Amino acid sequence: MTAMSLTGSRTLLYKEVLRFWKVAFQTVAAPVLTAVLYLLIFGHVLENRVEAFPGVGYTSFLIPGLVMMSVLQNAFANASSSLIQSKITGNLVFLLLTPLSPTAWFVAYVGAAVLRGLVVGAGVLSVTIWFAPPTLAEPWWIVVFAVLGAGMMGSLGIIAGLWAEKFDQMAAFQNFIIMPMTFLSGVFYSVHSLPDTWQAVSHLNPFFYMTDGFRRGFFGVSDVPPLVSLVVVVTGFAIVAGIALRLLHTGYKVRY
CB hemisphere CA count around 128 (13 angstroms): 32
What's the pLDDT score for residue 2?
Answer: 62
- Alpha carbon distance 159, 168 (integer Å): 16
Residues paired with 53 in a beta bridge: 56
What's the pLDDT score for residue 82?
Answer: 94
What's the pLDDT score for residue 111?
Answer: 97
Burial class (CB in 10 A: 0-12, 13-18, 19+), 94: exposed
For the cut 90, the answer to whether the pLDDT of residue 138 exceeds it is yes
- Residues above pLDDT 70, as percent of the chain: 95
For the cut 70, the answer to whether the pLDDT of residue 59 exceeds it is yes
185/116: higher pLDDT: 116
Of 152, 157, 125, give the one whose Cα is nearest residue 31: 125
pLDDT band at 194 (very low <50, low <70, confident <90, very high): confident
Amino acid making up residue 256: Y
Tens of pLDDT, residue by residue over 142-177, are: 999 999 999 999 999 999 999 998 889 999 999 999
- Residues above pLDDT 90, as percent of the chain: 61
What's the pLDDT score for residue 44?
Answer: 74
> What would the mean pLDDT of 201-227 be, rounded to a whole number?
93
pLDDT band at 132 (very low <50, low <70, confident <90, very high): confident
What's the pLDDT score for residue 5?
Answer: 64
pLDDT band at 212 (very low <50, low <70, confident <90, very high): very high
Average pLDDT along the chain = 90
pTM given for the model: 0.93
For the cut 80, the answer to whether the pLDDT of residue 242 exceeds it is yes
Contacts of 13 (CB under 8 A, 6+ apart): 107, 108, 111, 112
